[in-house]
Structure 1
Amino acid sequence: MRGMGKTKTMRRTVFVGLCGAALAGAALAAPSTALADGAGSTPNRGLSWQLKESGSDARFRGLAAVSRRTAWVAGTKGTVLRTSDGGKTWRDVSPPGVAALEFRDVEAFDGRRAVVLAIGEGEASRVLRTEDGGATWTESFRNTDAQAFYDCMTFFDRRHGLAMSDPVDGRYRILSTADGGRSWKVLPNAGMPAAQEGEAGFAASGQCLVGSGPRDVWLATGGAARARVLHSADRGLTWTATDAPIPAGDPARGVFGLAFRDRTHGIAVGGDYRADQPSPKAAAVTGDGGRSWDPSGRPPPAYRSGVAWFPHSRSAALAVGPTGTDVTADGGRTWRTVDTGSYDTVDCVEDGSCWASGEKGRIARLERR
């Protein structure tokens, strides 16, 4: 979506040997400051975000957690950072000559192989790939259609992935790769429903396009009369669209982030990204793969851009945004604010690690106090 600030511009994440449910329980059992103020300085029990010194002032909306020790972030001014020591140090592995690009998504397969997406109109939308930890980069896609504006990407496995653009000629455009991001092709749009007037995706957290399993993928939308979630069960060839009960009717409102723990159970977060506007219905849940969505009974109190399930949990998840972090222990039906620090995106991985990132170079890892 063009602008976020103009009208667009805006991506997932507990400990080895501990399950996500236990961690969420610890956060919920602790006081409302269990995750502190973003610096992890006040709590002495439960969970807290521990800020990691990034050495950068970039805004990191792109985040890929690989493990407790390894993570990648991508953001403004063409910045890409990587850690391999749990965030103690961050190596600047930004591609050369791309300071004008806005990276909004990064997908990493390990500590050496990663794919980053730059957003923008026309040739500003690009995909770059590294196989050596960011020492060298190869541009694998550059958009040449002035109507296209790419927002997010996702991978089903190490080879197969998709990227999505705002509507072109009235339908969302989908890119596909079958070789780990080395090459891309535009999929036919015959199976894509028509977009609403003014509808687009939000490049806020790298989570407007997410997958679960080998073939299922969901696309989040906003900016139109109704917020919607589109679903494909065949890697982007055919899609169905369902309305989501999240604020809409304005270019700044809609679904900003999605997370699915399997092919049926998902959470959507969003609202109105403008700081002076309320977001009374900032989350929704589905138990049928997105065929229907129900509003959270007690949603987060404000706009949220990123969401992630705790690993190995059927009911615990995190949501983040500029005004705080919320935790749910019942699959997204009710949320409790546990932190007031600013983050744009959150990512959890199978070894139990959760990471978050956002404005002014902020990167944090979830720690047990």
Structure 2
Amino acid sequence: MSGKFLFTRALPLLLSALLLPGWAMAQSTVSAQIPLLDQPALQSAKAPRAVLLAVTRAGERLVAVGERGIILLSDDSGASWHQAQVPASVSLTSVQFVDAQHGWAVGHLGVVLHSADGGETWNKQLDGIQAAQLALKAAQQGGDAKLLKAAEWLVADGPDKPFLDLYFSNSRNGYVVGAYGLILRTTDGGASWQAWMGQVENTEGLNLYGIRAQGDQLFIAGERGLLLRSSDGGQSFQKLESPYEGSFFGLLASRNGGLLAYGLRGNAWWSSDQGNSWQQLDTGVESALAAGLELDDGRLLLASQSGELLLSGDGGMQFEHRRTHQGATVAAVVQAADGSLTSVGLGGLSARQEIQAVARP
């Protein structure tokens, strides 16, 4: 493993387009990027057209995150946006709010950001340097030789490993996951963190792309068909028998108790029994599925990297195919308070009229 390993959430096939110029460099150059952890994101009128990788709701507000630490906010369901104040200039890969005020964003160089004011301002709670030290401390205390060797490598190789997803159950308890099996836990809203690799059955250190809760259980999806489940409140994660050997890029937990895992080459799998068994869904596409969303009316929406939007009203048994404007790449989709949809991707924010018709049954 080396410092040259780089990728971004949910769209590994578009790596070169999503990474900052010169990012995939040798370890000595990675060290030169570390100041970006403390360099505030540049305020720019071009921010809505920057590469954006995730979008979510904070109450009725929309929050989108992306390259160079850009975070954009909308209070009119995506019609207009303004830029937040962000203390780091690294690419951000995922964002979640547990209510209208409290949210977290994660990204490259192991950064974890927190907002307590609906996304207007952010503070850095964790970075890759600190995460590696936490991993080393946990491995030394645990006495696992393999974990200790991996943690020593993390410290020596530098903080270039990104976090790719996160899940918070409330304003205190959460997890961040990412490259090489990185997973950390907090029980105090991010004021402190614990390395959690020793509690996860992932001996190969496979990349972790997505984490979601379904009922009282937690699930993680990753590369090479990795599926993990925790049935003890996140204290430990056990490997599930996987139906697929390719990478899973995300998870969608539906309100009816179902769980959908999606990933490479249009692969999507459905479980109605908490991951004990899986049924393959016929999506009709061969490009990677980058995003999943359950709409307010219960329909399922999947988005592919090639700009295809797949809608299902029967739990994924059949999909209706639509396309974004000019096949624009989609990294994430959110449904606003007024029912309209907003997507983000390589071209930044979508114009709402390009996809909002999809939200109408």
TM beyond 0.5: yes
Cα pair 2:182 2:207 within 8 Å, conserved: no
State the alpha-carbon separation in 2 of the partners of residues 102 and 236 from structure 1.
27
| Alignment partner, residue 50 of structure 2 | 58
State the alpha-carbon separation in 2 of the partners of residues 73 and 297 from structure 1.
30
| Alignment partner, residue 200 of structure 2 | 192
State the alpha-carbon separation in 2 of the partners of residues 188 and 7 from structure 1.
20
Contiguous gaps of at least 5 residues in structure 2: 11-44, 133-152, 155-160
TM-score by length of 2: 0.71
State the alpha-carbon separation in 2 of the partners of residues 88 and 152 from structure 1.
27
Listed as ranges, the matches of 1:256-295 within 5 Å are: 256-262=249-255, 264-271=257-264, 279=265, 281-295=266-280
1:77 is the counterpart of 2:68: yes
| Alignment partner, residue 293 of structure 2 | 308
Listed as ranges, the matches of 1:5-20 within 5 Å are: 8-10=7-9
1:160 is the counterpart of 2:140: no
Note closer, same or farther for the CA distance 1:8–1:355 as it changes in structure 2 (3 Å cut).
same
Listed as ranges, the matches of 1:281-360 within 5 Å are: 281-313=266-298, 316-323=299-306, 324-339=308-323, 340-348=327-335, 352=339, 354-360=341-347
Give the match's secondary structure for 1:367: helix
Cα pair 2:107 2:162 within 8 Å, conserved: no
State the alpha-carbon separation in 1 of the partners of residues 120 and 319 from structure 2.
41
- Aligned length, in residue pairs: 290
| Alignment partner, residue 192 of structure 2 | 183
Percentage identity across paired residues of the two chains: 21
| Alignment partner, residue 205 of structure 1 | none
Give the match's secondary structure for 1:56: helix
Deviation for aligned residue 1:298? 4.3
The RMSD of aligned alpha carbons is 3.0
TM-score by length of 1: 0.69
Deviation for aligned residue 1:111? 4.4
Over residues 313-349 of structure 1, what are the superposed CA-to-partner deviations in whole Å (9 max), with x where a residue is unaligned?
2xx2001122111111221233232114321112347
Deviation for aligned residue 1:149? 4.3
State the alpha-carbon separation in 1 of the partners of residues 256 and 184 from structure 2.
21
Cα pair 1:65 1:354 within 8 Å, conserved: no
1:212 is the counterpart of 2:197: no
Contiguous gaps of at least 5 residues in structure 1: 12-52, 203-207, 249-253, 272-278
State the alpha-carbon separation in 1 of the partners of residues 64 and 2 from structure 2.
22
State the alpha-carbon separation in 1 of the partners of residues 331 and 86 from structure 2.
22
State the alpha-carbon separation in 1 of the partners of residues 122 and 105 from structure 2.
10
Query: What letter is aligned with 1:90?
Result: W
The structure with the largest helix share of the pair is: 2
Cα pair 1:212 1:263 within 8 Å, conserved: no
Cα pair 1:55 1:90 within 8 Å, conserved: no
Note closer, same or farther for the CA distance 1:10–1:165 as it changes in structure 2 (3 Å cut).
closer
Deviation for aligned residue 1:285? 0.8
Cα pair 2:173 2:188 within 8 Å, conserved: yes
1:87 is the counterpart of 2:87: no
Cα pair 2:84 2:120 within 8 Å, conserved: yes
State the alpha-carbon separation in 1 of the partners of residues 73 and 270 from structure 2.
33
State the alpha-carbon separation in 2 of the partners of residues 299 and 90 from structure 1.
35
Cα pair 1:162 1:177 within 8 Å, conserved: yes
Deviation for aligned residue 1:228? 2.1
Note closer, same or farther for the CA distance 1:326–1:6 as it changes in structure 2 (3 Å cut).
farther
